[in-house]
Amino acid sequence: MLTKAAFTVKKVCHIKWIHTFHAIEKFRISKLTEEEKHFQDLNLWEESAVNFCDGAIFVSKALMKEGKHYKIRSKRLISNGVDTGVFDYSPIKESNILFIGRFSLEKGVSILPSMIKSAMRFKDVTFTVVCPYRHMPSDLKKIISALKRLEQKFEGRVQIIETAQPQEKLIELYQDCQIYIQPSKYESFGLCILEAMAVGRPVIAFNVGGIPEVIGACGILAKNKKEFISNIEELLRNKEKCIKLGQMASNRAKKFDWNIISKQTINYYKEILK
């Protein structure tokens, strides 16, 4: 309801409104569970109000293309950013695979069990899944049950974290991994990808949305589940490649430093406020 609130404040207080798009609901919601799709009409009704904003920020080229149907007078591409002073480079020391994301179908959680089973064939490799949720749709209960069974089966090697973690803990998790994975079916940008890159971790993700714009040539883009798992196995066998990709990723992440992104944002606000 924040979009409707922004629209109301604009009309009542006569102030300008700049809207930042992090997703386009009409496309994102198609990747969710049937239970979540029940609210599709409500989401689309709310999002329709953005046509009245004075300016819009899209966090990726892919997202801006998705939002071409909106009749907004001013649009600007400004990426999400990362604090490279906080998420700074750290050498790879552990053989851990890490996933961080909402426990949602759009984040690709349905294929995590298959990935874990594949990784467990490698000696000493561990797998950490951070998947917070407030409400568990019935469609996803089988998936979380499968993950918990794997956690019990491979005790000490598989860790399922179901609550949101503070930034300090997230940094530790990035530092303790060898590979970061993002099997999202819909992703307008991929902030966790950028944070992992800043720490110096190679990223494997599906070639969707704004992910290619973030990763560039510093990670691996998979076309399907089989290719994704194959890429994980390849990096587990080749730590030197992980280190090389991680170093490239860390350097690329500097282009998204908040000092750069914040200046772009402030300049756009000034432009709209003239």
Region of 241 on the Ramachandran plot (φ > 0 left; ψ -120 to 50 alpha; else beta) = alpha
Q: Poorest-confidence range of 44-48, 174-178, 205-209, 230-234?
A: 44-48
Start-to-end CA distance of the chain, whole Å, equals 28
Predicted structure pTM score: 0.91
| pLDDT, average across residues 158-172 | 97
Residue 55, pLDDT score: 96
CATH 3.40.50.2000 fits 96-255, yes or no: yes
- The pLDDT confidence band at residue 138, using thresholds 50, 70 and 90, is confident
Quick one: pLDDT at residue 107? 95
Q: Minimum mean pLDDT among 11-20, 148-157, 171-180, 239-248: which range? A: 11-20
Does 2-81+257-273 match 96-255 in CATH topology? yes
The amino acid that residue 91 corresponds to is P
Q: What is the mean pLDDT of residues 97-111?
A: 95
Per-residue model confidence (pLDDT) at position 24:
80
Please give the share of the chain, as a percent, with pLDDT higher than 70: 92
pLDDT band at 7 (very low <50, low <70, confident <90, very high): confident
Domain locations in the chain as residue ranges: 2-81+257-273, 96-255
Q: What is the pLDDT of residue 30?
A: 60
Query: Mean pLDDT over residues 240-251, rounded?
Result: 98
The two three-digit tokens of residue 222, written as one number = 């998979």
Question: What tokens appear for 6 in the block?
Answer: 């922004």
Is the domain spanning 2-81+257-273 CATH 3.40.50.1100? The answer is no
For the cut 80, the answer to whether the pLDDT of residue 41 exceeds it is: no
Q: List, edge to edge, every strand of the sheet that includes 75-77.
A: 18-21, 55-58, 75-77
